[in-house]
Amino acid sequence: LNILVDTGSSNFAVAGVPDPDVTSYFNTELSSTYKSQGIDVTVKYSQGSWTGVLGTDVITIPKGIDGSYTINIATILESENFFLPGVKWHGILGLAYDTLAKPSSSVETFFDSLVRQAKIPNIFSLQMCGAGLPVSGSGTNGGSLVGGIEPSLYKGDIWYTPIKEEWYYQVEILKLEVGGQNLELDCREYNADKAIVDSGTTLLRLPQKVFSAVVQAIARTSLVQEFSSGFWTGTQLACWDKTERPWSLFPKLSIYMRDENSSRSFRISILPQLYIQPILGIGENLQCYRFGISSSTNALVIGATVMEGFYVIFDRAQRRVGFAVSPCAEVDGSPVSEIEGPFTTADVASNCVSSISFHEPVLWIASYALMSLCGIILLALIILLLIPPRCQHRYTDNDVVNDESSLVRHRWK
């Protein structure tokens, strides 16, 4: 089974029944080691959802780690917009923290099980290779390493930024530059309501205010005149003659992150080859491209658009995420990503992340309890002052908590 590695969710789930859009599935009846827990589980993404049953089974790692390990696995029985036509993966491996695990954080994640049973270091790393390749291309590129760092997968130094909170891999963004020009936004705009590193998201997603500022800056500094607004919103492609390279028309995009030394920062930069993405050829003469950046309602998400430029280390043991230039981030022999630093943080706030963490389940429960109490008191006052109305209680479904990872639309579609 081909499995999508997703750092924006925490469940390990595979197709458990035939589906028109998958070529293979896991038949639990043929596994002598599978044990059903009889627990229903549903995960919703901003694009797609699935419902299945939680169980356990025994796995082995093909390379590097000897032994067999018992892990939690959900078999997907129903899905909506999850398995896409022509999809080449049959499940998803969530590598975020257990806070996001469904149906509750008591479900031990795949990676936590591996760390506990195999006694490996609590760290993994990803190299996603796809710079300059057509989205409709095929083949195997990149790799995933559990338990450490592989020196051959990066060049230069590794720069680390602290993990602000252990649910998603939440980091702190200090500022953005387009073509070397600061957007001059309050740094809290970049972190509203969170900034995360998510391999399961295809694009670089930006909060609406940041997205608008980035589009305006790119349009202002690019050499393309009167560019269609549909290209920026993702509803239209832009096409050039196949003999042309449009990337020279667009500026570099830089993201500043806080260093482990809070008084310093570093920046990761992607060239247009990473965010102006070839997607479709028309006839013999035209090559069409899409904009690899989109707007988001509630997060800044560093997805595949950016991650394909870097070797990314998820050092859970030391609560940090590391970035280094990836040797596969080259187009026509030239690098398309950069890392530079250190820079001073004197020009930004000492903390750009809100201290209110309403994603924590306990705080959500407490907030609902307080609101309910206020509502009861208000109703009591109304009853005392007016004719007693018929009381109605409105229920909400808290059994399903949305996972806000935007599920990656696989690169070969």
**Active site residue ranges:** 6, 198
Asked whether the beta carbons of 128 and 144 are under 8 A apart, the reply is no
Give which of 199, 126, 197, 190 is closest to 166, Cα–Cα. 197
Work out the burial of residue 407: count CB atoms within 10 Å of its CB; fewer than 13 is exposed, 13-18 middle, 19 or more buried. buried
Calpha distance 236→411 (Å, rounded): 18
Beta strands in 115-162 (DSSP E): 123-127, 143-146, 155-162
Asked whether the beta carbons of 125 and 153 are under 8 A apart, the reply is yes
Asked whether the beta carbons of 370 and 363 are under 8 A apart, the reply is no
- Can you read off the two tokens belonging to residue 260? 């482990």
Q: Which residues of 61-90 are buried (b: 16+ CB within 10 A; e: fewer)?
A: eeeeeeeebebbbbbbeebeebbbeebebb
Give which of 238, 208, 234 is closest to 225, Cα–Cα. 238
The terminus-to-terminus CA distance of the chain in angstroms comes to: 17
Calpha distance 227→216 (Å, rounded): 11
CA distances from 329 to 154, 201, 210, 413 (A): 10, 18, 25, 21
- Can you read off the two tokens belonging to residue 187? 């740094």
CA distances from 370 to 140, 374, 376 (A): 51, 6, 10
